[in-house]
Structure 1
Amino acid sequence: MPEVKIHDESHKIPDKRGNGRLRREVWIDDQGRITRYNLAYINHNLHAGDNGRVVGYDNAHGFHHRHYFGAVEAIDFISYEDVEERFELDWTALKGRK
């Protein structure tokens, strides 16, 4: 059975709260296990490269990794919930930055 996308969300952050957009995509297999994910904070005012992705986490290309202002680094994967928490800490640390 193919993967199923269970989350496909995009939220605009108000200008006074930092501007940008939050993106979240999550896929599961037929057992309900998360197989793919993509979390991104996009703000072209902060970073023009990487399609505006300032910070993001995903497991594309066969490994779990973090994008940060264009640099990509492998991360130790504990759980998807842990990745969500890291992402939340990263993008909120950037709120209000211009």
Structure 2
Amino acid sequence: MFSIQTTYTNARQNLAKLLDRVANDNTIALITRKGHPDMAIIRADELSSILETLHLLRSPANAQKLNQALERSLARDSEPVIASESIVDLCQELGIAREQK
């Protein structure tokens, strides 16, 4: 699950490089330390996005509405795209004379 796993000692010695990698690769670093809980380093904007998603999905009713909206959006994305034509082109194709104003 974590792209980067390292020890506390290694993270401390290479903190700038570790932070750059997390930022540039948009990944999560897991730091292990004997006798202590594992810790994670994650971009702040990514954490904010995760927390917002959790908040929105906390309510079962809201989660259902969001899933239905996603399903509708995905269904629309799979519909064939109709090329738009100008009014003049459509009138010519259908043999309709356009009134001039």
TM-score computed with the length of structure 1 as normaliser:
0.24
Greater helix share, structure number? 2
TM-score computed with the length of structure 2 as normaliser:
0.23
Q: Give the number of the structure whose alpha-carbon radius of gyration is greater.
A: 2
Greater strand share, structure number? 1
